[in-house]
Amino acid sequence: MKHLTTLSAALLAGAALATPAFACEITLKSSDTHPDGYPTVEAVKHMGKLVEERSAGRLCVEIFHSAQLGEEKDTIEQTKFGVIDMNRVSMGPFNNLVEETKVVSLPYIFRSVDHMHRVMDGPIGDEILAAFAPHGYVGLAYYDGGSRSFYNSQKPIRSMADLAGMKVRVMQSDIFVDMMTAMGASATPLPYGEVYSSIQTGVIDGAENNWPSFESSGHFEVAKYYTLDEHLIVPEVLVMSQISWDKLTPEDQALVRQAAKESVPVMRDLWTAREKASEEKVRAAGAEVIAEIDKTPFIEAMVPVYEKHVTSDKLKDLVTRIQATE
């Protein structure tokens, strides 16, 4: 339908067009776990629009939102094999594949979202993006994932002691399992799409995420206690399959890279607005938000997590440089 529209538009415009628009010769399939309208989905749509315009309709991006192509961990694998061309995911599920992503998934590694931006927009960010290459992915751009905090169905969490024995879902990465253990809770790694029903049926007590995900997933309907301890600020990444990338001409590769870059400020604006809207919606629905919390004990409890996961000189150096970034 989209192809037909582009073609009809070109035909209607007729001779007036210097470069006639053709139907998409290449359509890049892009995956996202989030629903339509979510900032990451809209940012990739924006990128697709730029790519399509600049290639005169020859190169297109088709986005499959709402986990239509599967849960993140599976789509990451399919992207490696070129079944999926592009993927917008959290860095978390990449941890076991691309070692460097572990560093930016460490609890409290970033002091704030601004700190995360300064690191990811600079040479460290470039270095981590390049680290995807040997694993079959082309890193295109970073998106935002705000800061992640705990929510649960049982009781307000006001200190680490309140987490004791709680079953908390985490993203599928060892770092997050160890993080929960170090905080005294029991970690349950699960795909995102299983969290709602798992809380509802009591398989788990809660999970952790940012405002927009807490809201758009509907998790706030089944877990009303939200504690703003902000233990994780994990950047998100837009990657392309190396297999799909290699099928593009160098000109098209440059076009895709540039469009991805230009989608970042769009994403950040959408994110800021959505965070606010999500918070308002969740609060209006009766969530109990615990904003006053002493983060120091949480930060101190993370020492063994760093010791276990930051082992190579390369990772140690990255951690030191991130911490030294103003």
Residues that bind ligand GTR (CB under 6 A): 33, 72, 89-90, 92, 145, 171, 192, 209-210, 213, 236
3-state secondary structure of 202: coil
Q: How many residues can be counted in the chain?
A: 326
How far apart CA 255 and CA 278 sit, in angstroms, is 33
What's the min distance (Å) between Cβ of 217 and ligand GTR? 8
Q: Which of 57, 92 has the CB closer to ligand GTR? A: 92
Burial class (CB in 10 A: 0-12, 13-18, 19+), 123: exposed
CA distances from 306 to 100, 102, 121, 149, 319 (A): 14, 10, 23, 19, 9
Residue type, position 237, single letter:
V
Q: Which of 125, 145 has the CB closer to ligand GTR? A: 145
What's the min distance (Å) between Cβ of 191 and ligand GTR? 7
Q: Which of 72, 230 has the CB closer to ligand GTR? A: 72
**Strand 288-290 vs strand 225-232: parallel, antiparallel, or unpaired?**
parallel
How far apart CA 256 and CA 30 sit, in angstroms, is 13
What's the min distance (Å) between Cβ of 30 and ligand GTR? 13
280 alpha-carbon distance from chain centroid: 22
Q: Which residue shows structure tokens 């990444």?
A: 237
Q: Which residue shows structure tokens 């790519």?
A: 51
Helix (H) or strand (E) segment spanning residue 239:
strand 236-241
Q: Which of 60, 113 has the CB closer to ligand GTR? A: 113
What's the min distance (Å) between Cβ of 169 and ligand GTR? 8
Q: Which of 59, 270 has the CB closer to ligand GTR? A: 270
Q: Which of 30, 33 has the CB closer to ligand GTR? A: 33
What's the min distance (Å) between Cβ of 209 and ligand GTR? 5
What's the min distance (Å) between Cβ of 173 and ligand GTR? 10
What's the min distance (Å) between Cβ of 143 and ligand GTR? 8
How far apart CA 65 and CA 120 sit, in angstroms, is 25
**What backbone torsions phi and psi does residue 238 show, to the nearest 5 degrees?**
-110, 115
Q: Which of 66, 258 has the CB closer to ligand GTR? A: 66
What's the min distance (Å) between Cβ of 146 and ligand GTR? 7
Q: Which of 67, 255 has the CB closer to ligand GTR? A: 67
Helix 250-284 / helix 39-54 crossing angle, nearest 10 deg: 150
Q: Which residue shows structure tokens 């908390």?
A: 168
